[in-house]
Structure 1
Amino acid sequence: MDVRQLELFLAVVEEQTFTQAARRSFVSQSGLSSSIRALERELGATLFARSASGATLTAAGEAFLPRARRMLADATAAKRELMGLGSSRSLRLGSEQCLGDLVNLADVLTAFAPQQEGIEVFFQQAPSDSLLRDLRSGRLDAALIAGPPGESGARLIQDLEVTVLRQEPFVLLVPRSHPLASESSVALAALRPERLVDFAPSWPARSILDQALSEAGVSRRATVEVTDVHMLLSLVEYGFGVAVVPQSFSAKPEAASLVALPLTGTRPCWETALALSPQAGTAARAFASMFLVDVPG
């Protein structure tokens, strides 16, 4: 049982639906559900009665509720006391330019910063390779990064503490009028005659796709490079080309009019992860605790 599980439990209690609780807590609904199930397994009791209309506490949940509130209050008080003992009064955070629907960073940062009394929070967006360099040099305390899939769960990468948050496949995005839109899936080889709308080479999604196309023996007919996800989606919507992107990008509202097709054969995948520098302190770990692992088992 950890603090994040307690926070998610109380969010469901207060919102009375898993959907609203997940939105409020900045996690996916599947991730929140997984956390609640893990908590129920640990306690050996069902905490919520789930129905189409929402979630209500069971008798066990009612009994656990006051204890959960006390434990969370104690943990919050302890964190504030310990943070007051640290010497660093700043927290430096970074993120890859786009993380799909993994998290709404504007909401997370707005909710997180006021909790860090007396600590100045700095934030920057940059390519993952640049973020990793800054983490190793100590210029950043924590960062959300992306890259090719590795080993799931928590691990060390050159002294950085890295926890995978999500692994997902790429999909092909096409406009509804495109000949491929009626297919149930498509192989990368089918893209030989297509014009691809690509991210810039500095984006991890681009390097992952380059590798997959090379393995599939596919050469680009032409390349259009952008540095903005919304521009990429707009170009596809207007029929300028097609795009191969991480699946979660297709969940953006700007992609609502596009068709997302699963890939067969050589299938590029990527993972998003949270990395902590070797010097990460209490505040950086508090930031890390706001994220929930969402890796399929």
Structure 2
Amino acid sequence: MSGHLQPLLTAVGGSLPEEQLRVVRRAYEVADRWHSGQFRRDGRPYITHPVAVAVIVAELDLDHELLCAALLHEVLAETACPEEELAGEFGEPITDLLRGLRLLDSTKRRPPEWPVSTDERVLTLKLADRLHNQRTISGLPEARQRVNSQENLDVVAPVARRLGLTDVEEELRRLALGNLSGLGGARPFFGAITAGAIMLPAAVRGRWLEEWLGELLALPGGRARLGFTFWLLAGMPRLALTLRGQGAPARGGRVAAAGRAAVRCLRWPA
């Protein structure tokens, strides 16, 4: 058994019956096999991420099915493993958790669009995933760090509060605020833009926010940033209609030229 599993075994301690612990170990073995050769942005083996998510879950709820789902939560998304293989190996309850998580991810829904009816265990799993990603956010490009941190602060932390996971909420807020402190005086403007961007299609929202953040930081002072923010927010409904009328973003991740033109006319002159 790889040493990568040890932090989870330590977190679990002797709290699980041996039969359930065997299933957790098996989930790790399957995840480790499918993630073999994959690495995180920081160079660590990819399996360290699902193990870390499982440790967070263990601190919240010693449910062996949820622990297994945490260990397996990236297998369907990041490998060629068939869903049927996991269902045959681990049964429907664990596979249903993975399906619920995949539903949130495959539709590219962002946290404000997570259905209220979503299984609380699926949301707990997603929150643990978000928390670990926030802890290790330094591996992302700077603009993406800011976008994710603002989203975690504004909408993910409140989901944790709704579920009564106050420790998760507080850590998410603390880490996100620490990351956003690098924005200095631009932070309140970026927060307002992020809130307004909720009306944009989820599949392209992050790319627009990254671009706007770069432009916001390039502006010389508060007055220019205020004007830029005002005009973006005023034109956001029109941009949303334009982008939604185009459907999916063009191949290669670029938003269609008409959508870019719709925003160019909103930009505040520095």
Q: TM-score, normalised by structure 2?
A: 0.24
Name the larger-Rg structure.
Answer: 1
More helix by share: 2
Higher strand share: 1
Q: Which has the higher contact order (CA 8 A, sep 6+)?
A: 1
Which TM-score applies when normalising by structure 1?
A: 0.22
